[in-house]
């Protein structure tokens, strides 16, 4: 398939919204957004599906809108996953190679990664991603690309992301009931990082903080390697609930107050600025001080930022993040939030917009940070497409490792082809494809 004919669809199932973005890649490698759809998320709570039917209806509404704008019948989607059930852990894998005369191949690394999927986790958990950080060859540490080296003992430090089985299955069920197929499942902060972070920032060290409606997702990069991930079960919805109860108003009024007049720094609010809220039937309007509103918002945002700062310190990379903190997601547009983050953490902070990978002509709506995950899912989709295309180009025969029987089956040939071709891809993208196959196999249990 011609690269410019390939169309990718990203589906972001969030707590406050469900968004769909349809795009293709132009000759310069930039994304051209063909259409987008958005629907209110009625069946998701803190990133986890809580009502199947309502979520399915919201997905259909968003998909229908995006499909009509793009003039494209949507069948396959790349889906983001988040939620408070996500956790990460570190683990070291060891592989003793059979033949020390042969150099380390892509298949050796593949076997090492596959072994990580056999880890015994807590009950009801399954691995989503296995991300290699660095390798050790015969006790030589700090190796990023071991392929082609000579050695007997191959070790690797892995960052493993796991989640509860039932929330993952519910996502698959919702997508399938909406008439769609899950092409791949990708952790949302990883997708957002692809949209708003540059390679230079990932090399220098940066913490991505995606503030959504129900959760705040964190991904820390250093030396182009993901070092730490975390999900905090607080987001913009908690602030809205605080405003609702503190000001004794309706929830939709609280949301509008937060977006239009809210500030994360109460000291910047004017003392005499008053907002009048229409009262209920027969009741007088309610006057709310913008200063008091900002105090409510700042109190909750301080709690969220302190959680974020704890995760940064817990990762051990607090003093190695030259790129500081990049805020994205719908909650990142809160007025004066970067200043509050800098005040609490002492680190530089900015708001990340998903515009770097978009070609000219995108709408103002798409450049909003709330679409960072959706744009990132499209970017990961095209990386997956590039990987599959490279595999298809591999035609020459391959040989098996010493000590293994040569198979003549088509499945074995495909596996060998993938292993020898893998070194040409970035390891991060190849491992995401491993996680994709893992969930495709698991998904057959409840089809």
CATH of the domain at 3: 3.30.420.40
Reported as a pLDDT band with limits 50, 70 and 90, residue 398 is very low
Claim to verify: residue 271 and residue 362 sit in the same structural domain:
no
Site of tokens 């409840």: 446
Instruction: Please give the average per-residue pLDDT across 199-219, as a whole number.
Output: 93
Q: Are 287 and 276 contacting, i.e. CB atoms less than 8 angstroms apart? A: yes
Does residue 415 lie in a domain region?
A: yes
Token code pair at residue 437 = 């196959």
Do 386 and 405 lie in a common domain?
yes
Question: In this structure, are 187 and 247 located in the same domain?
Answer: no
Is residue 16 one of the residues assigned to a domain? yes
Query: Which tokens go with 308?
Result: 């974020």
Domain shared by 277 and 216, yes or no: yes
Q: H-helix or E-strand containing 48? A: strand 48-49
Q: Is the pLDDT of residue 405 over 90?
A: no
pLDDT tens-place string over residues 84-130: 888 888 899 998 888 777 888 878 888 888 889 888 888 889 898 88
Q: Are 110 and 130 in contact (CB under 8 A)?
A: no
Q: Report if residue 222 sits inside a domain.
A: yes
pTM beyond 0.75: the answer is yes
Token pair, residue 54, equals 């309502």
Worst-scoring range by mean pLDDT, 99-103, 239-243, 323-327, 404-408?
A: 404-408
Residue 21 in tokens? 């973005």
Contact in structure between 207 and 113 (CB atoms under 8 Å): no
Last residue of a domain, one of 317, 340, 355: 355
Domain shared by 322 and 366, yes or no = no
Long-range (24+ apart) CB contacts under 8 A made by 414-417 are 416/107, 417/391
Considering the domain architecture, whether residues 350 and 361 belong to the same structural domain is answered as no
Instruction: Provide the total of helices (H) and of strands (E) in the chain, helices listed first.
Output: 12, 18
pLDDT exceeds cutoff 60 at 419: no
Are both 170 and 36 inside the same structural domain? yes
Question: Percent of the chain beyond pLDDT 90?
Answer: 49
User: Which residue is listed with tokens 């809160």?
Assistant: 334
Which of 331, 355, 379 is the endpoint of a domain? 355
Listed in sequence order, the residues at least 6 apart from 396 whose beta carbon sits closer than 8 Å to its beta carbon are none
Domain boundary among 297, 322, 355: 355
Give a yes or no: residue 205 inside a domain.
Answer: yes
Comparing 236 with 432, the larger pLDDT belongs to 236
pLDDT tens sequence across 15-63: 999 999 999 988 888 899 999 999 999 899 888 899 999 999 999 999 9
Helix (H) or strand (E) holding 206: strand 206-211
| 288 exposure class (CB count in 10 Å sphere: 0-12, 13-18, 19+) | buried
**Would you call 68 exposed, middle or buried from its count of C-beta atoms within 10 A (0-12, 13-18, 19+)?**
exposed
On whether both 45 and 69 belong to a single domain, the answer is yes
Q: Which residue has the tokens 């229908």?
A: 64
- pLDDT at 174 (0 to 100): 95
Question: What SS3 class is residue 351?
Answer: strand
Q: How many domains does the chain have?
A: 2
Asked whether residue 173 falls in the same domain as residue 315, the answer is no
Half-sphere exposure of 335 (CA within 13 A, CB side): 17
Q: In which residue are the tokens 């708003």 written?
A: 196
The tally of CA atoms less than 13 A away on the side-chain side of residue 345 is: 31
Spatial separation of the C-alpha atoms in residues 184 and 435, rounded to whole Å: 8
Query: Can you give the residue range of the structural domain that contains 47?
Result: 1-85+164-197+356-447
In angstroms, the CA 94 to CA 106 distance is: 15
As a whole number of angstroms, the distance between CA 218 and CA 391 comes to 32
Q: Is 107 part of any domain?
A: no
For residue 120, is it within any domain?
Answer: no
Q: Is residue 135 part of a domain?
A: no
Do 188 and 219 touch, CB atoms closer than 8 A?
A: no
Same domain for 3 and 64, yes or no, is yes
Based on the fold, state whether residues 263 and 322 are members of the same structural domain. yes
Run of H or E residues at 10: strand 7-13
Q: Is residue 93 part of a domain?
A: no
In this structure, are 411 and 345 located in the same domain? no
């Amino acid at each position: 398939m011609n690269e410019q004919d390939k169309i990718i669809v990203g589906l972001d199932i969030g707590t406050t919204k469900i968004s769909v973005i349809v795009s293709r890649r132009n000759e310069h490698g930039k994304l051209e957004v063909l259409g987008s759809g958005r629907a209110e998320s009625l069946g998701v709570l803190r990133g986890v599906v809580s009502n199947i039917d309502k979520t399915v209806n919201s997905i259909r509404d968003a998909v229908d809108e995006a499909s009509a704008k793009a003039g494209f019948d949507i069948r396959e989607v790349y889906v983001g996953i988040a939620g408070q059930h996500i956790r990460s852990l570190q683990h070291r894998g060891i592989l003793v190679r059979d033949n020390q005369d042969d150099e380390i191949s892509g298949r050796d690394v593949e076997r090492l990664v596959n072994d990580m999927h056999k880890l015994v986790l807590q009950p009801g958990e399954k691995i989503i991603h296995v991300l290699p950080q660095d390798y050790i060859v015969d006790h030589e540490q700090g190796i990023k690309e071991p392929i082609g080296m000579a050695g007997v003992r191959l070790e690797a430090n892995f960052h493993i992301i796991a989640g509860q089985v039932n929330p993952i299955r519910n996502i698959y069920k919702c997508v399938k009931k909406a008439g769609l197929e899950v092409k791949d499942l990708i952790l949302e902060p990883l997708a957002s990082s692809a949209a708003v972070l540059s390679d230079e920032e990932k090399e220098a060290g940066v913490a991505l903080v995606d503030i959504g409606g129900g959760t705040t997702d964190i991904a820390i990069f250093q030396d182009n390697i993901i070092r730490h991930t975390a999900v905090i079960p607080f987001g913009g919805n908690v602030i809205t609930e605080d405003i609702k109860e503190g000001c004794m108003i309706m929830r939709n009024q609280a949301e509008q107050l937060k977006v239009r007049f809210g500030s994360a720094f109460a000291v910047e609010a004017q003392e005499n600025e008053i907002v009048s809220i229409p009262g209920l039937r027969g009741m007088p309007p309610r006057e709310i001080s913008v200063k008091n509103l900002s105090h409510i918002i700042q109190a909750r945002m301080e709690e969220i930022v302190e959680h974020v700062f704890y995760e940064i310190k817990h990762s051990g990379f607090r003093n190695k993040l030259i790129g500081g903190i990049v805020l994205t997601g719908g909650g990142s547009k809160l007025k004066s939030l970067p200043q509050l983050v800098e005040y609490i953490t002492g680190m530089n902070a900015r708001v990340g917009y998903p515009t770097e990978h978009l070609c000219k002509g995108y709408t103002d709506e798409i450049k909003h940070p709330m679409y960072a995950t959706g744009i990132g899912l499209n970017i990961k989709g095209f990386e997956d497409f590039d990987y599959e295309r490279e595999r298809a180009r591999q035609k020459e025969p391959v040989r098996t490792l010493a000590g293994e029987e040569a198979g003549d089956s088509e499945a074995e040939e495909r596996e060998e082809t993938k292993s020898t071709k893998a070194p040409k891809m970035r390891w991060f993208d190849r491992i995401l494809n491993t996680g994709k196959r893992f969930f495709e196999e698991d998904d057959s249990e409840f089809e």
